[in-house]
């Protein structure tokens, strides 16, 4: 489960930074700032920003501090926050559709 959440989180962050680079928007200092930039430019809804910022930190723990991973947090991410990934994907898809129509 940890590995799947790590991959899903990494995809969100990679897509975020790719969109920012492709659009020529401001360069984020870190992954957390990348999701803030997406919301600022209307790619994702503001109300999703806090969850996505937390996802960046969660991914860092999974990647860099795997011996200190709190299994209760992993369980919560797997049971309570999977919809955040889906909302991100839907938001990006809608944004892409709207920009390709222009």
Domains of the chain plus CATH, in order, are 2-100 (1.20.120.580)
Would you state the pLDDT for residue 15?
97
Would you state the pLDDT for residue 62?
87
Number of H helices, E strands in the chain: 5, 0
Q: Which of 17-21, 69-73, 95-99 is predicted least confidently?
A: 69-73
Nearest 5°: CA angle at 29, between 59 and 94? Answer: 70
pLDDT tens digits along 60-93: 888 887 677 888 988 988 999 899 999 999 999 9
Nearest 5°: CA angle at 38, between 57 and 50? Answer: 40
Would you state the pLDDT for residue 70?
86
Would you state the pLDDT for residue 69?
85
């Amino acid at each position: 489960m940890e590995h799947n959440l790590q991959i899903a989180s990494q995809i969100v962050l990679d897509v975020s930074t790719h969109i920012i680079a492709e659009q020529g928007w401001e360069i984020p200092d870190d992954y957390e700032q990348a999701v803030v930039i997406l919301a600022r430019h209307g790619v994702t809804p503001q109300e999703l920003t806090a969850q996505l910022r937390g996802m960046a930190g969660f991914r860092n723990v999974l990647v860099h501090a795997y011996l200190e991973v709190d299994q209760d947090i992993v369980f919560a991410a797997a049971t309570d926050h999977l919809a955040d990934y889906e909302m991100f994907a839907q938001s990006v898809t809608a944004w892409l559709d709207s920009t390709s129509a222009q």
